[in-house]
């Protein structure tokens, strides 16, 4: 392939000409009634609505997190009673996992970017796409209704037999999560079909952007794992109402079987959250290093590898819950394989940055934080996969800190990086770069300050989900709460300057990052049907940058 | 509105190659399914001591394959559809295997009370007591 | 304005369905619909797989009780229902065959036969359930059948009711889907270019059959 082959709609470094603008308004202003937004079939508007809602759910989950952290400020009761505390950490988990991390990147950025990256006008099933948003909202409102009217104290894992006997409001919250599962399946199904059938000429499988590969792997997990969760949630609701005893040892049932079925979904669900993050970072690292991604096929295949191996690692959640030692050994080995595939990605990202012409903008700052959280969280993960090490650490704050590092840290970093990287694409406005870097620094520091003390607490033996703790743990708990405040402050700054940019920000160029990603080959914000004039031809690789040294000569920054 | 093109030439070509099969094939498959049902009922009534369920499941799998291949046209479709079906079947089998591995090799007192589990070909040390012996008296479990 | 999909069949009877604007051709659109259906069926398979896993584990733990409990089921009715469902699957496959030849009348006949057999299946199922209720062979704590008191027997009936209940729910959904496609066939909509709705509806029905093919030996023949 010759590097000089033409790109029909190459916007280049200069703002795209505005001459088509009169006839082809951007998707944001093409129809301004409320109905034109709420009943839209345009994947971009659905993506924006997803973005608004997941940010709201993130706020709710974050408030619960702050309540939990404030309660743990002192060894005894601080602001709430023990039962409210149990409800608060359960709701923090349920909201953050089912309403923020699972739908966030696929729903908001996947919906918006996938068709653009494939040169398509829309996803394969636009109506199903809209339905998935409303299923999410229906499930969310049922679950939140349940949280307000009673709440639940089981933890987000709903372990039986406690969840079938607790007097708190189990049924609506689990039923809400069941409906959210349908939304997740609909999104995944849509993305798989879109990737198979909607690719524009020239975009072969190995010329798809890496974000698409990651979304494809995510969608496979969503389609294959979520139905099992749906069944399990229905069974728990049934158990709670009728006490069939399938998972109740008092009636001859096996609670470990519940854990098998639950983690058959919920462990792959971790990769539903983190694979899109890997995809975003593959895009960001290439764009801001001004280098083609190092080892494209390795990164693409490792997404599928994580998706497959991640399915057969679920038993590492059950090392101390009565599972056989034989299974523990098998699952320990399979879990470590996930680390191999993740390491392949990490090395390729680092190889991409190496000798690149790094443009240290806000998304790249988040990339650095992401790399740190992935490596540290991932390495504690490999330690956890060793069954003998897991036994003393199990159900301590070490687990909490570990999964917040790898799962939450990586996903939040990627979500923020995607929000900043694609902000000009989605809204056609630029945010303030200085404030972006300041808040990125605060968020990364705050995250460390929150969870490094929790690593130490867990290693010292403080169990998770406890309302009270001995005096000697107080210093670290105060440090963790202070870190959480810093984290919240960082997000507050982001919210302020991004909202300001949305209203008063200066108009962004079509391709302010001079990225070679396919999604930047149309205007920013894109017109309703994504392209004006002839369909672009995609003759180059998705992250094709000429040698960075040479590239910097004609258009140095 | 400009015309759109897709990369999926291959799928496009498959679609044209799809031949129209006559009703004869459906009748043959239907007859085979009826016969296999009667066979499985017959063998099931014999209550074979070992492998009865395995035999029944093999017959069911053959029947299922006939339905999927011919009634659902998987024999004619190439590529993605087959991959989806095969993958889902693979995951069902693996989910079954991993849970059965667990329950077959688990420490006996961690199984539901009154259960009489079948013999399992693999014996692990965890199934009996910690040092290979029988169960200890209550209250003397290792800390 | 916003809408990028065209709705087919607004006025008159379209000989060829319209291609939604975001698809390259009708072939690709049909391919997408079929692939989407296969993915949906994969989710259904995994849904039932959860129940199969529960069944396999409890059968492993309580082999005696499961064998004896399965003999409490009426094998004749079960066999009859299996044959009925397989035949209904055959008529659904024939409907696709006729749709490709644009014989809409035969499509209607075949689907009506399918739906009638589905109703027959549910009626037989109703009598089986009624017998179980009468004998108190019920799930979990409601189990009170004096003829079989082994531990695990109540678990068998929990799984029996859960799996056949979920399957019966799918039968009802399948009847609604096929009824809707039958209405379209009555309006003469199908031809060699446009039979996707018939094909997808019939695929769903085959899946209902496929699940029963596995449930039948698991529940009746052990």
Question: In angstroms, how far is the first alpha carbon of chain C from the final one?
Answer: 60
* Closest in C3, C28, C141 to A243, CB measured: C141
Q: Does pLDDT of B143 surpass 80? A: no
- Tell me, yes or no, if C172 comes closer than 8 A to chain B by beta carbon: no
Rg, Å, chain A Cα set:
23
**Within 13 A of C211's CA, how many CA atoms are on the CB side?**
27
Confidence at residue A532, expressed as pLDDT on a 0 to 100 scale? 79
Average pLDDT on B101-118 reads: 83
Sign of CA dihedral A536, A539, A542, A544: negative
Q: Identify the pLDDT of residue A528.
A: 87
* DSSP character string of A259-272: HHHHHHHHHHHHHH
d(CA A463, CA C155): 35
Burial category of A540 from C-beta neighbours within 10 Å (exposed 0-12, middle 13-18, buried 19 and up): buried
Interface of B with C in 55-84 (CB under 8 A): 56-57, 59-60, 63-64, 67-68, 70-73, 77, 80-81, 84
Which chains touch A (3+ CB pairs under 8 A)? B, C
Tell me how far apart the alpha carbons of residues C212 and A439 are, in angstroms, rounded to a whole number: 57
Residue range C70-98, pLDDT digits in tens: 999 999 999 999 999 999 999 999 999 99
The pLDDT assigned to B122 comes to: 67
Structure tokens at A398: 């070490």
Q: What is the pLDDT of residue C13?
A: 44
User: At B7, is the pLDDT very low, low, confident or very high (cuts 50, 70, 90)?
Assistant: low
Residue numbers of chain A with a pLDDT score lower than 50:
1-22, 551-557
Residue among A324, A328, A537 with most chain B CBs within 10 A, to mutate: A324
Band of the pLDDT at C16, cuts 50, 70, 90? low
- Spacing of C-alpha B76 from chain mean position: 23
* Residue A154: HSE in the Cβ half-sphere, 13 Å Cα cutoff: 24
**Cα separation of A482 and A476, whole Å?**
10
Burial environment of residue C53 by CB neighbours within 10 A (0 to 12, 13 to 18, 19 or more): buried
- Return the pLDDT at A459: 94
Q: Say if the Cβ atoms of C86 and B88 lie within 8 Å.
A: no
Residue of C32, C33, C49, C161 to mutate, testing the A interface (most A Cβ within 10 Å of its Cβ): C32
Given A128, A254, A529, which is nearest C4 (Cβ)?
A: A529
Cβ contact B110–A204 (<8 Å): no
What's the CA gap between A531 and C199, in Å, rounded?
34
> Does the pLDDT value for residue B67 go beyond 60?
yes
The tokens for C89 are: 């699957």
pLDDT confidence of residue B118: 78
Q: Pick the more confident residue, B107 or C6.
A: B107
Residue C147 reports pLDDT greater than 50: yes
pLDDT one-digit tens code per residue, C151-183: 889 999 999 999 999 999 999 999 999 999 999
Looking at residue B130, its pLDDT comes to: 53
C40 — contact with chain B (CB < 8 Å)? no
Highest-scoring range by mean pLDDT, A250-254, A392-396, B21-25, C146-150: A392-396
Residue of chain C whose Cα is closest to the Cα of A188: C39
């Amino acid at each position: 392939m010759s590097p000089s082959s033409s790109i029909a709609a190459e916007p280049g470094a200069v703002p795209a000409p505005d001459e088509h603008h009169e006839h082809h308004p951007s998707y944001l202003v093409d129809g301004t009634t409320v109905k034109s937004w709420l009943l839209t079939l345009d994947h971009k508007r659905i993506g924006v609505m997803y973005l608004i809602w997941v940010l709201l759910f993130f706020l709710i989950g974050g408030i619960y997190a702050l309540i939990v952290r404030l309660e743990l400020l002192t060894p005894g009761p601080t602001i709430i009673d023990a039962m409210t505390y149990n409800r608060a950490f359960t709701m923090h988990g349920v909201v953050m996992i089912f309403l923020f991390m699972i739908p966030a990147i696929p729903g908001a950025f996947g919906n918006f970017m996938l068709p653009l990256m494939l040169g398509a006008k829309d996803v394969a099933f636009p109506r199903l796409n809209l339905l998935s948003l409303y299923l999410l909202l229906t499930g969310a409102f049922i679950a939140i209704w349940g949280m307000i009217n009673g709440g639940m104290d089981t933890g987000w894992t709903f372990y039986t037999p406690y969840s079938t006997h607790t007097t708190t409001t189990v049924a609506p919250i689990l039923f809400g999560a069941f409906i959210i599962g349908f939304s997740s399946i609909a999104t995944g199904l849509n993305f798989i079909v879109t990737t198979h059938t909607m690719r524009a000429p020239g975009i072969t499988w190995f010329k798809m952007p890496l974000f698409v590969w990651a979304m494809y792997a995510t969608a496979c997990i969503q389609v294959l794992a979520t139905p099992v969760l749906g069944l399990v949630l229905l069974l728990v609701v049934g158990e709670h109402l009728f006490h069939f005893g399938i998972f109740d040892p008092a009636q001859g049932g096996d609670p470990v079987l519940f854990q098998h079925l639950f983690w058959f979904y919920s462990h792959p669900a971790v990769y539903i959250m983190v694979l899109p993050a890997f995809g975003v970072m593959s895009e960001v690292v290439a764009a801001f290093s001004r280098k083609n991604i190092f080892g494209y096929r390795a990164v693409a295949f490792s997404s599928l590898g994580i998706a497959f191996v991640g399915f057969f690692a679920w038993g590492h959640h059950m090392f101390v819950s009565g599972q056989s030692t034989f299974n523990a050994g098998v699952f320990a080995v399979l879990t470590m394989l996930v680390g191999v595939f993740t390491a392949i990605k990490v090395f390729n990202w680092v190889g991409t940055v190496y000798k690149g012409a790094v443009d240290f903008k806000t998304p790249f700052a988040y990339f650095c934080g992401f790399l740190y959280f992935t490596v540290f969280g991932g390495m504690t993960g490999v330690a956890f996969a060793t069954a003998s090490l897991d036994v003393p650490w199990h159900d301590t704050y070490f687990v909490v800190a570990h999964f917040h590092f790898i799962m939450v840290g990586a996903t939040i970093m990627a979500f923020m990086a995607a929000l900043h990287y694609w902000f000009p694409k989605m809204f056609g406005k630029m945010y303030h770069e200085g404030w972006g870097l300041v808040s990125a620094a605060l968020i990364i520091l705050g995250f460390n300050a929150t969870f490094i003390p929790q690593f130490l607490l867990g290693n010292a033996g403080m169990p998770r989900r406890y309302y009270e703790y001995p005096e000697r743990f107080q210093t670290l708990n105060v440090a963790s709460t202070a870190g959480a405040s810093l984290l919240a402050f960082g997000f507050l700054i982001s919210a302020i300057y991004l909202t300001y940019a949305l209203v008063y920000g200066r108009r962004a160029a079509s391709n302010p990052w001079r990225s070679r990603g396919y999604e930047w080959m149309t205007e920013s914000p894109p017109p309703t049907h994504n392209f004006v004039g002839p369909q672009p031809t995609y003759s180059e690789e998705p992250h094709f940058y000429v040698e960075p040294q040479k590239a910097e000569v004609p258009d140095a920054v | 509105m400009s015309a759109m093109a897709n990369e999926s030439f291959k799928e496009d070509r498959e679609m044209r190659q799809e031949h129209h099969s006559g009703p004869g094939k459906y009748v043959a498959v239907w007859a085979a399914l009826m016969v296999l049902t009667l066979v499985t009922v017959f063998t099931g009534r014999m209550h074979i001591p070992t492998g009865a369920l395995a035999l029944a499941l093999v017959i069911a799998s053959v029947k299922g394959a006939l339905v999927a291949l011919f009634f659902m046209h998987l024999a004619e479709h190439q590529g993605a559809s087959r991959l989806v079906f095969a993958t889902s079947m693979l995951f069902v089998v693996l989910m079954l295997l991993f849970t059965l591995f667990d329950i077959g090799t688990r420490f006996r007192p961690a199984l539901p009370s009154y259960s009489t589990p079948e013999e399992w070909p693999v014996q692990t040390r965890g199934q009996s007591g910690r040092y290979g012996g029988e169960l200890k008296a209550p209250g003397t479990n290792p800390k | 304005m916003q809408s990028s999909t065209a709705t087919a069949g607004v006025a008159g009877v379209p000989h060829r369905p319209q291609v939604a604007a975001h698809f390259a051709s009708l072939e690709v659109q049909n391919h997408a619909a079929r692939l989407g259906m296969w993915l949906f069926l994969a989710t259904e398979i995994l849904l039932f797989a959860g129940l199969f896993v529960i069944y396999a584990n409890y059968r492993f733990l309580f082999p005696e009780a499961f064998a004896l409990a399965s003999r409490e089921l009426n094998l004749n009715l079960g066999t009859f229902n299996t044959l009925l469902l397989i035949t209904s699957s055959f008529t659904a496959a024939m409907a696709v065959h006729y749709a490709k030849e644009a014989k809409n009348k035969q499509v209607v006949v075949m689907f009506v036969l399918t739906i009638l057999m589905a109703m027959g299946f549910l009626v037989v199922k109703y009598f089986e359930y009624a017998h179980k209720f009468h004998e108190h062979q019920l799930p979990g704590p409601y189990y009170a059948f004096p003829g079989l008191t082994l531990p695990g027997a109540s678990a068998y009936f929990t799984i029996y009711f859960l799996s056949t209940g979920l399957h019966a729910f799918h039968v009802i959904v399948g009847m609604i889907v096929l009824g809707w496609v039958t209405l379209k066939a009555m309006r003469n909509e199908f031809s060699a270019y446009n039979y996707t709705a018939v094909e997808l509806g019939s695929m769903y029905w085959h899946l209902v059959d496929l699940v029963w093919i596995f449930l039948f030996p698991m529940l009746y023949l052990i």
